[in-house]
């Protein structure tokens, strides 16, 4: 199935390509989807690519010589090539398909824990990390007796780079951080963080779950060692993600899972593992999801990541300006110019779950809770927040609908 197309660059008309945005979530109440930081909606282009695979090419890959197997293998590996180009990787074999960002980081914690890290080593994280970039290192620290330290967050939601400089003096072995906060929206100075880490001999991991879908990302320009991200946050299907790593580092790591496809030869008491990327892709992979991921990459590339970033910047500026006009509303994070399309906030005396429930009555989908970032909320001494997050299919009208509904929330609670 060809994936070449010419999308309309009017972001208003882009909405027409997302079937779910035509839905009424309650009788007479259309959907206003503002939860893309949790998962993005899918254009018809992605849905049709996956449907085409199941209708016409369904087969396991790398193991058959019949026509269906060869077509499926070609499409799967073509998706890997698309991802590699999208993030500026040197070679497609540096792209490892996983289930999601979480699995990618767990893969690194497991393999680095067996090859690089030793008892007493320092791992540097930040106070704004998603649990996916906290818990795997906490688990590894319990096993290896590692030290975990954290780059502090300022009151306005930025990383305190002075505290980072102090941590670097302790010679960390690993620095792992999010490029864009899923709560604060803060876009961190990834290139600077990586450069300083490398000057001190540390391996670097970037959690790109929120950044790769929304801003142009080039791993070579960043200078990172590893990056993890997920398809479902960037118009692709759930159940597939990516671990990108520099080839020479991936070669040094031991395998993660054992089984089919990650081996060259198996004996009764030993085995030899396969070449990259198959070394880290044990078992039958998510073939349809990879094809859908490739279609999503086509869509984003054709629309233009620069254009998407500018569109979201316009949305978040407008949203922040309007949210600040609501009495008792407090926005977490920095100025709009320093963040992506994420606005998390609290309302005095109103629990975020109550806010989200009333918004849902108006057809508005937001996220309420700690957003898998409990320590970050602890930092601001709040139990939870309400989060509105935007993507290329959102418009100024979506924000106006949100603001109107939030005013109704305030009125209801007096």
On the question of a cis peptide bond just before residue 277, with omega within 30 degrees of 0, the verdict is yes
Considering the chain, tell me which residue range(s) the CATH 3.40.640.10 domain(s) occupy.
50-302
Question: What is the C-alpha separation between 145 and 254, in angstroms, rounded?
Answer: 21
pLDDT tens string, the chain, 414 residues long: the values are: 344 434 334 688 899 999 999 999 999 999 999 999 999 999 999 999 999 999 999 999 998 889 999 999 999 999 999 999 999 999 999 999 999 999 999 999 999 999 999 999 999 999 999 999 999 999 999 999 999 999 999 999 999 999 999 999 999 999 999 999 999 999 999 999 999 999 999 999 999 999 999 999 999 999 999 999 999 999 999 999 999 999 999 999 999 999 999 999 999 999 999 999 999 999 999 999 999 999 999 999 999 999 999 999 999 999 999 999 999 999 999 999 999 999 999 999 999 999 999 999 999 999 999 999 999 999 999 999 999 999 999 999 999 999 999 999 999 998
- Residue 3 confidence (pLDDT): 44
Report DSSP state, residue 170.
T
State the pLDDT at residue 11. Answer: 81
Angle at 231 (CA atoms; ends 134, 262), nearest 5 degrees:
80
Catalytic annotation, pick one of 46, 372, 392, 402: 372
Q: Is 372 a catalytic residue?
A: yes
- pTM of this prediction? 0.95
Distance CA 308, CA 238 (A): 21
Helix (H) / strand (E) element for 323: namely helix 305-323
What whole-number distance in Å separates Cα of residue 369 and Cα of residue 376?
12
Query: Using CA atoms, how far apart are residues 34 and 364, in angstroms rounded to an integer?
Result: 7
Q: Is CATH 3.90.1150.10 correct for 11-35+304-412?
A: yes
- Cβ–Cβ < 8 Å for 315, 258: no
Q: What is the pLDDT of residue 64?
A: 82
CB-based contact 146:162 (threshold 8 Å) = no
* Dihedral sign computed on CA atoms, order 223, 36, 2, 104: positive
Q: Using an 8 Å Cβ cutoff, are 398 and 14 in contact?
A: no
Identify the CA nearest to 184 among candidates 220, 227, 206, 154: 154
* All CATH 3.90.1150.10 domain ranges in the chain, comma separated: 11-35+304-412
Class in CATH terms, 50-302? alpha beta
């Amino acid at each position: 199935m060809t994936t070449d197309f010419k999308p309309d660059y009017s972001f208003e008309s882009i909405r027409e390509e997302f079937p779910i945005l035509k839905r009424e979530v309650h009788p007479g109440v259309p959907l206003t989807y503002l939860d893309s930081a949790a998962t993005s909606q899918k254009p018809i282009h992605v849905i049709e690519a996956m449907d085409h695979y199941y209708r016409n090419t369904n087969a396991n890959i790398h193991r058959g010589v019949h026509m269906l197997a060869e077509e499926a293998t070609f499409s799967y590996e073509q998706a890997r090539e698309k991802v590699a180009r999208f993030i500026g990787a040197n070679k497609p074999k540096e792209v490892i398909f996983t289930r999601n960002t979480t699995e990618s980081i767990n893969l690194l914690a497991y393999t680095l824990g067996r090859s690089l890290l030793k008892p007493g080593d320092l791992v540097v994280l930040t106070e704004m990390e998603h649990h996916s970039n906290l818990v795997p290192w906490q688990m590894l620290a319990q096993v290896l007796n590692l030290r975990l330290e954290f780059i502090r967050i300022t009151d306005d939601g930025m990383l305190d780079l002075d505290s980072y400089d102090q941590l670097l003096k302790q010679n960390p072995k690993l620095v792992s951080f999010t490029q864009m906060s899923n709560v604060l929206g803060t876009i961190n100075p990834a290139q600077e963080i990586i450069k300083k880490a490398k000057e001190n001999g540390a391996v670097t991991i970037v959690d790109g779950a929120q950044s790769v879908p929304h801003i142009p990302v080039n791993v070579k320009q960043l200078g990172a060692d590893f990056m993890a991200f997920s398809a479902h946050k960037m118009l692709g299907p759930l159940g597939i993600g990516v671990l990108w790593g520099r080839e020479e580092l991936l070669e040094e790591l031991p395998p993660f899972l054992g089984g089919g496809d990650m081996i060259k030869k198996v004996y009764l008491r030993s085995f030899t593992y396969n070449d990259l990327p198959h070394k880290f892709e044990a078992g039958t992979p998510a073939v349809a999801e990879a094809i859908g991921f490739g279609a999503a990459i086509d869509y984003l590339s054709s629309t233009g990541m620069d254009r998407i970033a500018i569109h979201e910047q316009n949305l978040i500026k407008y949203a922040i300006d309007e949210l600040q006009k609501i009495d008792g509303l407090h926005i977490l994070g920095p100025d709009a110019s320093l963040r992506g399309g994420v606005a998390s906030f609290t309302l005095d005396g109103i629990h975020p779950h109550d806010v989200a429930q009333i918004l849902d009555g108006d057809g508005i989908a937001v996220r309420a809770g700690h957003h898998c970032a409990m320590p970050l909320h602890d930092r601001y001494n709040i139990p939870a927040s309400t989060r509105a997050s935007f993507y290329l299919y959102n418009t100024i009208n979506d924000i106006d609908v949100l603001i109107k509904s939030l005013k109704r929330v305030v009125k209801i609670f007096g």
